[in-house]
Structure 1
């Protein structure tokens, strides 16, 4: 027999935020720049004769990231590594094949912060200052540690640096994905791969996986600037249905429940192209891709173009330095809908609910 109180537990809430912007996205980059770990980039283009397939082919050639197997965290605190890749350029690094709710996870953000999301046993052995996880303060079985590798005092204080290296050595090796943006154009981003290879690591060069399809649907419109959050949410839901190749036909007789999309004055069925890239993208590269797409369609008579960006489920931080979790709904991401030089940013942040 099912306990009747089970149905009394409310579902964890999600935070949805709608913002309008005007002009180039680069000048509004602060809205998305602090979303460091991007896994999925989906671009939806309705009813356009312009070909963008060549652009996405070039993305596969130029959007390179690296996989390093069995990385010992002690090497991230090496003075030569900090000087070359943490304090110069922007390093983005994330552990993979680890689960944020029960495993140890690590990440380095472009501002030089090393984040550790670790269990109680590891924290007690680590000997570094941290805080109890926001989500398990009562249980106390998960801890969050932040280390500023870009701190100028860290390199000058050899005793502190030696202690940090000895503490990080306690952690088991991680398999990580990483990308490095050099401070100058004449410096090759692959320098970091060469560095790890020369110190004995197995480094693999990776590129995003591309999938595309075309859907023939009735295309709804959206108001710029957005004034109704519910209308934007309904439109974003429709975009999700299109990107997943769902059946959008409204057949009330076939199913007890059917999906009904946003209202549209368009009776004609028109093509909508969807391009989906899976990989490891920095916030800088995401902004560049969006800017390039906006530039290509600046003079095109399209009603709108949508870009969906989804983060990694098991990253130690999500937005900025905000701790991430995956107990119930750990998906974080945003949808950008634009028309020429104006647009809407629809953010989805997972629940900040504290578990007892």
Structure 2
């Protein structure tokens, strides 16, 4: 009986869906993109499109660079030189690499200047810094979260608080991580970060880009005013998200009886697209780059003749082991570590926004 009960238990997940219009004064699209900080994959689908516009193609090729720094001490992220050069001048983001949020110590720098550390109990106590228990520790608290405001520290460079934090990371507990870093500051040479961390063997990387054109693609029918969907009129937002996952995973959608890998089929009602353009960008992608992609999809004339796309989608997935999901909301792994969002953009500037998180997360904002 216990085994049967276990099979029936499905991990909780949250999917928040909302509808708005890019032209509305209270539209939250930019805020939601800008506060989902650590993104590793961006995918878009454009129906009735075989070739990207020059503008969109250029944006896709310019989503990088990002950087990998091996064995970087956390202390280096709180020095006045780093704060003044990168945190105060532009938008800097960092995330510890190859660390598991549920097992290891992890660290993240947010573009708003907050340094977030998720530490095991022993490491937390060794630092001597003040934090709070993780929301997802269970009865026996084994993980703690420390948040340090670097902008506040920079305003008081000679304060006792700065001295205590500096001493903790430099002498008391020398935490080191492999980091992914990215910095957005238009007009500044990209080599600045390379030279700043040259003693740590910094490497520059460009995101990986995969594109394809699919012919005769069966896709669900969508109506912008039918967010919840009606079986006879429109696919729902949640059904669409499942379908997109199948499309970008290159799963079979024909539900053939001898297919033992996938029995999934397209939601109804459906139609067949003559062609559709798929693009996936994988790396360490800043929210500002995603804002530009979203704007280009919105304004990119894909709804004009002769293409006449009924809608386009933009899907963004966050790092499963990031300490945060949106803003400073604590993120945990549990079963899958998912936190993602998807825009469905219609030709009248309406859009659906879908935000999904797993069991160890607060409700999306």
Superposition TM-score, scaled by structure 2 size: 0.87
Alignment partners' CA distance in 2, 1:224 and 1:41: 22
Q: Tell me the residue number matched to 1:292.
A: 296
C-alpha deviations, 1:98-143, integer Å up to 9, x for none?
Answer: 1111101000001100000111110110100011110014121111
Q: Tell me the residue number matched to 2:353.
A: 345
How many residue pairs align between the two structures? 348
Unaligned runs of 5+ in 1: none
- Aligned pair in 2 of structure 1 residues 153, 353: CA closer, same or farther (>3 Å)? closer
Alignment partners' CA distance in 2, 1:126 and 1:265: 57
Q: Tell me the residue number matched to 2:200.
A: 201
Residue 265 of structure 1: how far off its partner (Å): 5.2
Q: Tell me the residue number matched to 2:221.
A: 221
Residue 159 of structure 1: how far off its partner (Å): 3.1
Q: Tell me the residue number matched to 1:37.
A: 38
Residue 160 of structure 1: how far off its partner (Å): 2.3
- Return the match for 1:251 from 247, 253, 256: 256
Q: Tell me the residue number matched to 2:232.
A: none
CA contact (8 A) 2:50 2:276 kept: no
Describe the SS at the equivalent of 1:218.
strand
Describe the SS at the equivalent of 1:219.
strand
Describe the SS at the equivalent of 2:146.
strand
Deviates more, 1:36-45 or 1:171-180: 171-180
1:102-117 counterparts in 2 under 5 A? Answer: 102-117=103-118
Describe the SS at the equivalent of 1:32.
helix
- Aligned pair in 2 of structure 1 residues 193, 319: CA closer, same or farther (>3 Å)? same
Deviates more, 1:46-55 or 1:329-338: 46-55
Unaligned runs of 5+ in 2: 230-234
Residue 90 of structure 1: how far off its partner (Å): 1.3
CA contact (8 A) 1:221 1:303 kept: no
Alignment partners' CA distance in 2, 1:256 and 1:51: 32
Correspondence 1:263 to 2:268: yes
Q: Which 4+ residue blocks in structure 1 deviate beyond 6 angstroms?
A: none
CA contact (8 A) 2:95 2:107 kept: yes
Q: Tell me the residue number matched to 1:119.
A: 120
Describe the SS at the equivalent of 1:21.
strand
Residue 88 of structure 1: how far off its partner (Å): 2.5
1:53-132 counterparts in 2 under 5 A? Answer: 55-56=56-57, 59-61=60-62, 63-132=64-133
Correspondence 1:334 to 2:341: yes
C-alpha deviations, 1:226-272, integer Å up to 9, x for none?
Answer: 43167111112111111111111133476698323211353x45222
Q: Tell me the residue number matched to 1:314.
A: 321
Alignment partners' CA distance in 2, 1:146 and 1:55: 37
Residue 6 of structure 1: how far off its partner (Å): 5.0
Correspondence 1:178 to 2:186: no
Alignment partners' CA distance in 2, 1:269 and 1:292: 22
CA contact (8 A) 2:219 2:266 kept: no
CA contact (8 A) 1:122 1:171 kept: no
Alignment partners' CA distance in 2, 1:41 and 1:332: 13
